[in-house]
A and B are shown apart, each in its own frame.
Chain A
Amino acid sequence: MSIRVELTYDMSKVLGLQHFEIESAATVREVVEQTETRFEGGEEFAKLARLAAIAVNGVLINHRKGMKTRLRDGDRVGFVKASAGG
Chain B
Amino acid sequence: MIKGYAGRVLEIDLAKKSYSFEPLDEEIARLYIGGKGYGTRLLYDRTEAGIDPLGPLNPLIFATGPLNGSVAPQSNRFAVVCKSPLTGGIGNATCGGNFAYGMKRAGIDIIFISNQSERPIRIEVNGDLGEVVFLDAADLWGKGTYETQEILGKKKAHAVIGPAGENQVLYAGIVSNERIAGRTGVGAVMGSKRLKAISVMGTRKLEMDDPAAFKKYTKEIREMFKAHPVLGSSLKRYGTAGIVNTTNGRGMLPTKNFQRGHFDEAMTISGEYMEDHELVGVKSSCIHCPVTCGRDVEVDGKRVKGPEYETVALLGSNLEIGDLKKVSEWNFLADDLGMDTISLGGTLSFAMELQERGMFDAGVSFGDPEGISQLIRDIGHRHGVGNELADGSKKMSERLGGHDFAMHVKGLELSAYDPRGSFAQGVEYATTNRGGCHVQGASMYLESIGPLTINPQNLKLKADIPVLMQNTACAINSMVLCIFTTYGMFPEAIHNLDPNSLKYRMMSKAIENSGPIMRMAMEMKGKPMLWFEKWLTYITGETFSSGHLQEIGGRIFNLERMYNLREGLTAKDDTLPPRILNESIYEHMKAGHPLGELLPRYYKLRGWNVEGVPNPDTLDRLQVRV
Contact = CB atoms under 8 A, between A and B. Distances in A.
A58 B586 contact: yes
Nearest to B239: A85
A6 B585 CA distance: 18
Contacts of B438: 86
A50 B499 CA distance: 7
A18 B442 CA distance: 29
A9 B273 contact: yes
Nearest to A82: B451
A55 B587 CA distance: 13
Contact of A84 (B234, B251, B505, B585): B234
A78 B240 contact: no
Contact of B235 (A52, A61, A84): A84
Contact of A86 (B246, B439, B586): B439
B586 A60 contact: no
B240 A85 contact: yes
A55 B249 contact: yes
Contacts of B588: 59
A67 B244 CA distance: 24
B616 to A, nearest CB: 37
Interface in B585-623: 585-588
A1 interface: no
Give the interface centre of B245, B262, B421, B450 by most chain A CB atoms within 10 Å.
Answer: B245
A33 to B, nearest CB: 13
Contacts of A81: 245-246
B272 interface: yes
B625 interface: no
Interface residues of B, number: 56
B243 A9 contact: no
A45 interface: no
A62 B251 contact: no
Contacts of A57: 251, 586-587
A80 interface: yes
Interface in A43-69: 50-55, 57-63, 66-67
Contacts of A61: 500
A76 B253 CA distance: 15
B499 A51 contact: yes
B487 A84 contact: yes
B246 A62 contact: no
B308 A62 contact: no
B504 interface: yes
Interface in B484-516: 484, 487, 495-496, 498-500, 504-505, 508
A84 B267 contact: no
B499 A59 contact: no
Interface in A5-38: 6, 8-10, 12, 18
B218 interface: no
A58 B439 contact: no
B483 A83 contact: no
Contacts of A54: 499-500
B234 A83 contact: yes
A61 B505 CA distance: 10
Given A58-B262, A62-B504, A82-B451, A6 B249 contact: yes
Main secondary structure of the interface of A (DSSP, over half): mixed
A58 B261 CA distance: 8
A8 B245 contact: yes
Given A57-B587, A62-B508, A66-B500, A84 B445 contact: yes
A66 B500 CA distance: 6
A53 B505 CA distance: 11
A62 B484 CA distance: 26
Interface in B423-467: 438-439, 442, 445, 448-457
Q: How large is the interface on A (under 10, 10 to 19, 20 to 34, 35 or more residues)?
A: 20 to 34
B564 to A, nearest CB: 24
B52 to A, nearest CB: 32
B245 A51 contact: no
B170 interface: no
Nearest to B260: A58
Contacts of A51: 495-496, 498-499
A86 B309 CA distance: 6
Contacts of A84: 230, 234-235, 240, 243, 445, 449-450, 484, 487
A78 B249 contact: yes
Which of B262, B309, B455, B499 has the largest count of A CB atoms less than 10 A from its CB?
Answer: B499
Contact of B499 (A10, A12, A52): A52
Nearest to A60: B453
A79 to B, nearest CB: 7
B76 interface: no
Contacts of B248: 6, 78
Contacts of A12: 267
A86 B261 contact: no
Nearest to A32: B500
B499 A83 contact: no
A63 B449 contact: no
B63 interface: no
Nearest to A72: B587
Given A51-B498, A86-B483, A58 B252 contact: yes
A59 B453 contact: no
B587 A62 contact: no
Contact of B249 (A10, A50, A80, A86): A80
A62 B505 contact: yes
B242 interface: yes
A82 B455 contact: no
A59 B251 contact: yes
B243 A55 contact: no
Nearest to A79: B249
Given A63-B505, A83-B450, A84-B230, 18 more contacts: A6-B248, A8-B249, A9-B270, A55-B251, A58-B252, A59-B457, A59-B586, A60-B250, A62-B505, A63-B453, A63-B508, A80-B246, A82-B495, A84-B445, A84-B449, A85-B242, A85-B244, A86-B439
What 8 A-B pairs come out closest when comparing CB atoms?
Answer: A58-B251, A85-B243, A78-B249, A9-B272, A85-B309, A80-B249, A63-B455, A53-B499
13 contacts: A6-B249, A18-B267, A51-B499, A58-B250, A58-B421, A61-B500, A79-B249, A80-B250, A82-B452, A82-B453, A85-B310, A86-B293, A86-B484
Interface of B: 230, 234-235, 240-252, 261-262, 267, 270, 272-273, 293, 308-310, 421, 438-439, 442, 445, 448-457, 483-484, 487, 495-496, 498-500, 504-505, 508, 585-588
